[in-house]
Structure 1
């Protein structure tokens, strides 16, 4: 064979090898599709202003190698309390859920749901993340990879008849989202009815419940302002209650990611992300409240002095929770003291 022909073969082989390597390199640049499942309609505030921007940011920072499919309103099946198990067993890849939807399973998170604990959602979410890292990550949440942990803004009582004092709550059937808040409604004299948030609209319209406790931001998506005409807010430095959330990922799915894609998830996880989620959610309380104002609904704002009677009535909820966790060997009083200290720290720093 002539030298020129040999050179041509070598060049052709080199080009073919380069093409194979490029193809292999492209294949090795792994692309991942993650399914994000949650319980609210796509147009609700959290999907629109928290989950969608987060998913878009992850996709962008991965240069399109991570694709996040979004499934609102339990489109992949199951019920809201089953979401955490869907993330645990890999039925889906990521869920947004309330730990309190599975009563007693994540008892440490309940410390932030105790009455008159939270100040605002941003500071309390920072405190929640700190306590998650120190006390929950390798215990209650060991089976999932938690991306963010946060709370919503101040809880409000929305009711058919006005609630201006404790006595007005007597016997009223009130929807409560979690075990702690169910105990709170009962201690204050109401009749708690546990149910996931999507069931509130139908339950109010059919008279199954007389009212519900929710933050203002969820009011528009549930049409609460159309179904009741009274809304009771609590003055002072601490809210009646809040609810804890987590954005959790299947652990095996996270562990299977290449390091550079893990870094994308990690860069969009943690305390700052949790605080942003809480702050964002609370920011949308104002538009929800304005809808009620626009309908000339009766908005009752209890003074800090009025709230003192409610705080005193709620004390047994806190004492019972501490006693229960102490009974489990979980140091309820220590959790309570640490949570209060962290909330105070982050509130003062704002």
Structure 2
């Protein structure tokens, strides 16, 4: 049997010129190179079926591939599959070990001090859309947090509810002495102010911690309620009747700056065209919508605190805000300006989202 190379060189019994074959081979190699000029690895800590991957990362990577005509290929690696623990993700992208990451700012406490303002209780209200818009509008005030990094999206979820394995919660005193999972250091400060014990852990560990009784509850959004398997483990979920939450978490979609700078100008533009205000709005609305299924799962176990009861929680939350202002002011950061501007813009865009509702 003749091999494939021989078949390629035969055409109606006549041998093709060698120069033709050389040109054809070169064209093939050139086309292959052009198809994947830049291959980037995107690493994150949640599973492959998580909302972060399905709603944010996969569609975005596909848009970049299409708009670059296949010259940029982004492979997504969920669940820390490239190694390390969630707190190492920022270091991985800074060092160039990976090209892109999606992570929580709270997994590297103190690394993004200005950005923390948007996760504070009594600053964030209830809407990912509103706080995303506020972050985008004030990015110049937090830009210093991202030296050496290319921020693709800085966003939040709709906000933390209090999820308790056992007892219901109607006032801060109900939490005294209990152990509550925190998503961030400012969340930990809120738990401290409740006179409860804080337990820091990534979201995927919450289920086992609730099941074995090592924590009594957790601060998390409804968005991940089902994806991390909390059905049947949470007896009470607590929010304000006005939709208010107990702070939120800031997520970071980051690219290694050197990798971005190495791209030709036209491919840099492809990325920049896909990280603007429209993207911010899209992901804000998406994360607000992602709350609905989890809330429905907990419908029979959902406590909505009336306004009078929320005031007691807000008084405690304000202690956390003032602690944060003192902390960052000692670092030479104008914490009061950040809080004032964050609140002003979140209030503005919360009115917009209320109108849309």
SS in structure 2 at match of 1:268: coil
Q: Is the 8 A contact 1:30 1:258 kept in 2?
A: no
Residues 93-151 of structure 1: CA deviation (Å, up to 9, x unaligned): 1100111211111111111111122231111111112322x1232x2101111101110
What is the match of residue 219 of structure 1? 225
2:91 alignment counterpart: 85
1:183 to 172, 183, 189: 189
> Contact conserved, 1:129 with 1:148, CA < 8 A, in 2?
no
| 302-311 vs 59-68, greater mean Cα deviation | 59-68
Q: What is the aligned partner in structure 1 of residue 150 from structure 2? A: 145
Query: Does structure 1 conserve the Cα–Cα contact (< 8 Å) formed by 2:122 and 2:321?
Result: no
Q: What's 2:172 paired with?
A: 166
User: Which residue of the partner structure matches residue 107 of structure 2?
Assistant: 101
Is contact 1:147-1:269 (8 Å) kept?
A: yes
Q: Could you tell me whether the CA contact under 8 Å between 1:98 and 1:243 is conserved in 2?
A: yes
Distance 2:203 2:326 in 1: 29
Q: 2:340 aligns with which of 308, 320, 337?
A: 337
1:10-25 maps to which residues of 2 (within 5 A)? none
When the two chains are superposed, the root-mean-square deviation of aligned CA atoms in Å is 2.2
Structure 1 residue aligned with 2:136:
129
Q: Which runs of no fewer than 5 residues in structure 2 stay unpaired?
A: 1-16
* Counterpart for residue 198 of structure 1: 204
Cα distance in 2 for partners of 1:143, 1:65 equals: 24
Taking structure 1 as reference, are residues 231 and 31 closer, same or farther at Cα in structure 2, changes over 3 Å only?
same
Report what 2:62 is aligned to. Answer: 56
Shift of 1:300: 0.6
**Contact 1:326–1:332 (CA<8 Å) still a contact in 2?**
yes
Matched, 1:155 2:166: no
CA distance in 2 between partners of 1:115 and 1:188 (Å) = 13
Aligned residues: 334
Q: What is the TM-score of this pair, normalised by structure 1?
A: 0.89
Normalising by structure 2, what TM-score?
0.87
Query: Aligned in 2, Cα 1:315/1:157: closer, same or farther, shift over 3 Å?
Result: same
With over 3 angstroms needed to count, the CA separation of the structure-2 counterparts of 1:64 and 1:29, relative to structure 1, is closer
Q: Residue 108 and residue 21 in structure 1: after superposition, are their counterparts in 2 closer, same or farther (change >3 A)?
A: same
Where does residue 3 of structure 2 map in the other structure? none
SS at structure 1 position matched to 2:227: helix
